[in-house]
A and B are shown apart, each in its own frame.
Chain A
Amino acid sequence: MQKYSVFSLIKNAFSDHQNWEVAWKDPTPKKEYDVIIIGGGGHGLATAYYLAKEHNITNVAIIEKGWIGGGNVGRNTTIIRSNYMHDDNALFSEFGMDLWRKMSQELNYNVMFSPRGIINLAHSDAQMNAYSRRGNSMRLNGIDAVLLNREEVQKRIPMADFSDNVRFPIFGGLMQPSAGTARHDAVAWGYARQADSMGVDIIQNCEVTGFDVTNGKIIGVRTSRGDIKAKKVGLCVAGSTNILAEMLNMTLPIETHLLQACVSEPVKPLLDHVVTFGAGHFYCSQSDKGEMVMGGDLDGYNSYSQRGNLPTLQHVLTEGIAMFPFLSKLKMLRTWGGIMDMSMDGSPIIDKTHIDGLYLNCGWCYGGFKATPASGWTFAHTIAQDRVHELNSGYSLNRFNTGDLIDEKGLGTKTWIS
C-alpha cells in the first residue's frame, strides 16, 4: 500500500495526480471466507480492520448492498463524545476516545479529529444538579467533565441567547473538553483502505438475500452475487437489522426510525464547540467549511424511508433558534435522513446469538458514529474469540430478558419519544 504523506503528495503532483493507487480493490467474492461482515458502514469496516490487525484474521469479506460509507457513517452530524453516566457506556466510549485520538496516525488517513469540546446547556437548577451528578460520574470513570456556570458558558458561546426575556434561560452547562468531531467519510475510507491492504475483500453492490443455517450453526450467506460460505458471520447493518433478523426468524428489541440532519449555508467561523440545547433535542456544530451542522429529534414513527418529513425539522429548528437566534437568518443548504436501529433501552447490542457463529452488532440509536472504533474493536474481539470482551459485556442481547437494562436517558421502550 502506498503511504500517504507530504512526499507522496509532492511526488504525485508531478504526474498530475494520475498515478495514485486505488484506495481499495473491487474483488469478486470468493467461495468461502473465515468471517463475513454484513454491512460496509463505519462499524463493519472497523470490525474487519480490527479482525485483521488485532486478531490476524484476514480471510474476511465485507458485504455491502450499496457502496461503503453510504449509510449512517456518511449521514451523521460527526459528533464524538463519551459524556455518559452509566459505567458500561462510559468505559466503552472512553476506550473509543483513545482510539479516535490516534486514528489518523494509525490509519495513515486524515480523519480530521477535532477535539473541540461539547457543551450540554442547562436551563434550570434541577438540570444543573443532574449535570453535576453526570459530570461526577464521568470523572469517577476518568472522563474529563467541567460544570460551567452561566458566565463561563457565555464566554465560550456568546452568540447564544443570553437575553432576559427567554423561555429557557441558560443556567450553565456540562462540558466535556475532549469531545469533538471528525470527518465522517474519512473514517469509513480510512478503515476500508487499511482493511483492504491487509487482505480483506470489500464487496460492494452485493445484497444479502438469506442465510444458510444447519444444526444451529451458520454455514454461509446467500447474496445477489451468489452463495458464499463462511465459518462466522457478523451483522453490522444498523437500520436494516430487523430486515436481516426476519430472514433468520429472529425478533429483536429494535425498532427502525428515521433521524434527520441538516446544514446551513457556510458562514465565517463563529462556533468553537459542539453545543446541545437542554430544553429539547437539538445539537449544533460548525463544520470546517463553515456550515452549521444541526440535528435533533427522530421523525417519530417507524420508518425505512431515509427521507425526512417537514414537521419534525421545523420543530427541531425552532429549538435551534431559541438557543442561537442568528440561525433564523441563515439559509438551509441541505437536509437528509438516515434510518436508526433504536434499541429498547437506548444502548447498543454487541453479542453472540443463539445461532453458532452468528454475531450481532446493532441498537446504536443515534450514537453510532462516535462508537465506530470501539464498536469495531470489541465486535472483532467477540467474533475472533467467540466471547464478549469486558468492554461490551453489558451490551448483551439477553439483558432485556434479565432486566439488566442500560437506560441512560430513562426513556423506556418508547424509542421514538426522543
Chain B
Amino acid sequence: MLYIFCPHCGLRSQNEFAYGGDATVKRPELNKEISDQEWNNFVYLRKSPRGKHLELWHHISGCRQWIKVERDTSTHEIFKTYKADELTE
C-alpha cells in the first residue's frame, strides 16, 4: 500500500487516488505550427526511468485535486509531493 501526502488533505492511502502518468511531458505550445514529430514526442514517448519519477496523481476520492508526486519506481519510496501548479525542483 502506498501512502501519498496530498498537499491539500494530508497523508492518505493510495486507494483514494487515481494515477495520471508522467508529469514531465509538455504539450507543444498553443497557436503554433506543430509537427507530427512534436505530437509524437508529447503523446507517445516516455522516458519511464528506473528510479526517481515525477508523476501526476488525482485525489479522486478526496479533494479531487491533481497533484505531482516524486516517487522511486523501483522502491516505491515517495520523496516529495507538490500541488499541480507548484514548481518542482
Contacts and interface: CB of A to CB of B under 8 A. Distances in A.
A119 B57 CA distance: 35
Interface stretch (A55-63, A95-103, A297-305): A297-305
B49 A246 contact: yes
Given A311-B1, A416-B19, A255 B46 contact: yes
Contacts of A401: 36-37, 40
Interface string B13-28: 0110001011000000
Contacts of A253: 44-46
B43 interface: yes
Contact of A252 (B36, B46, B75): B46
Contacts of B71: 301
Q: Which of A251, A304, A401, A414 has the most CB of B within 10 A?
A: A304
Contact of A305 (B36, B40, B49, B73): B73
A246 to B, nearest CB: 7
B32 interface: no
Given A253-B44, A304-B73, A401-B40, A309 B49 contact: no
A413 B45 contact: no
A310 interface: yes
B19 A254 contact: no
A303 B1 contact: no
Contacts, number: 70
B40 A302 contact: no
B20 to A, nearest CB: 9
Contact of B47 (A242, A303, A400, A402): A242
Interface residues of B, number: 26
Interface residues of A, number: 25
Interface in B56-81: 71, 73-76
A302 B75 CA distance: 11
A256 B48 contact: yes
Contact of A242 (B14, B21, B48, B74): B48
Given A253-B45, A254-B48, A304-B74, 16 more contacts: A242-B47, A242-B50, A253-B46, A254-B46, A256-B50, A256-B73, A301-B55, A302-B48, A304-B73, A305-B76, A400-B40, A400-B43, A400-B44, A400-B45, A401-B36, A401-B40
10 shortest A-B CB distances, which residue pairs? A253-B44, A400-B44, A242-B48, A304-B50, A304-B74, A251-B45, A344-B44, A255-B48, A401-B40, A301-B19
16 contacts: A242-B46, A242-B47, A246-B47, A251-B41, A251-B47, A252-B45, A253-B45, A255-B21, A255-B22, A256-B48, A301-B55, A302-B22, A303-B73, A305-B75, A309-B2, A416-B19
